[in-house]
Amino acid sequence: MAEPLTPVHFFSHGSTMMLGEDSRSADYWKAAGDAALANGVKGIIVMGAHWDCKQDHAVQVAMTAEPVKQPVGNVHPSKYEHYRLKPDLETGARCISMLNAAGINASGNESFQWIHDVFLVLVRMFPDDNTLPPTTIISANARYDPHFHVRVGAALRPLRAENYLLIGSGGAVHNLYRNVWYPMLLYKDNFAQPTPPEPWALEFRQAFRDVVEQNSGPALRRGLTRLMKHPHFRDAHATDDHYMAALFVAGAAGDIRDEGSVGMLMAEDWELTNMCSKLFNFPLNVP
């Protein structure tokens, strides 16, 4: 029998305050990191939401030997400034080669500064930076073509057979324009819910969960792509950037050989009234 593939994670990273506040998401990130270490993962490959390549049909791979972390708003610097990152340049070069071989224009970026969408999750998963696995960051593409981002994830899927952990860090319901900000700005409370989430947020939250939990293999790819035509997609995502990570995950976990391996909701938090952060795990499967 073939060796099992490592899981794939879709993580909604939420607001910057998720780095500093306790939450169900934080608990699961730590559990996922512990599981990764217990299984001896070789490295992490992640597509975030805050870095996109402006060239048509192209992505970039972070190839900075000593990356700088961008500042994080509403979080005390002590939560992250001394955390040592571990860029994986060797695997980055492999990813560039694999993407190019799949017909995707990929190149290295030697000056990229790491952003909270990636290192927030890493700090939560591996609070002791001595245990952080080598990490490779893949950009999104600024044209936000859903099919293109599925192709990126599919091109890197074979690395799961080598015990690499693939992660998409974006958002399930992530519209900054429709969040309720005053509890955070006045009281530093990102979890305050002065009113329930609005109907559009609840509707898209459920639609996203239904697609992930009720589809596998190519049907997962079709379902997550089709959600961009959902009547409430633009309410849930004023911009497309945070949704591309879900399509990257669909590519990595939605091959015909992944049929039967459905996503499992592992944690959920609501912030700022209308931001829903959902964490899904696509469990072990055979290649």
Architecture of domain 8-282: 3-Layer(aba) Sandwich (3.40)
User: What would the two tokens of residue 205 be?
Assistant: 């939250």
**pLDDT cut 70: percent of the chain above it:** 98
Using the predicted structure, report yes or no on whether residue 73 has a pLDDT greater than 60.
Answer: yes
For residues 199-214, give the mean pLDDT: 98
For residues 189-216, give the mean pLDDT: 98
For residues 188-208, give the mean pLDDT: 97
Confirm whether pTM is higher than 0.85.
Answer: yes
- Cβ 43 vs Cβ 214: under 8 Å: no
Q: Chain-wide mean pLDDT for the chain?
A: 96
Per-residue pLDDT band at 1 (split at 50, 70, 90) = very low
Using the predicted structure, report yes or no on whether residue 286 has a pLDDT greater than 80.
Answer: no
Half-sphere exposure of 153 (CA within 13 A, CB side): 31
Per-residue pLDDT band at 114 (split at 50, 70, 90) = very high
Domain extents for the chain? Answer: 8-282
For residues 217-244, give the mean pLDDT: 98
Using the predicted structure, report yes or no on whether residue 287 has a pLDDT greater than 60.
Answer: no
pLDDT tens figures, 38-59: 999 999 999 999 999 999 999 9
For residues 63-76, give the mean pLDDT: 96
**pLDDT cut 90: percent of the chain above it:** 97
- Which pLDDT score, from 0 to 100, does residue 4 have? 83
How many other CB atoms are found less than 10 A from the CB of residue 163?
17
pLDDT tens figures, 138-163: 999 999 999 999 999 999 999 999 99
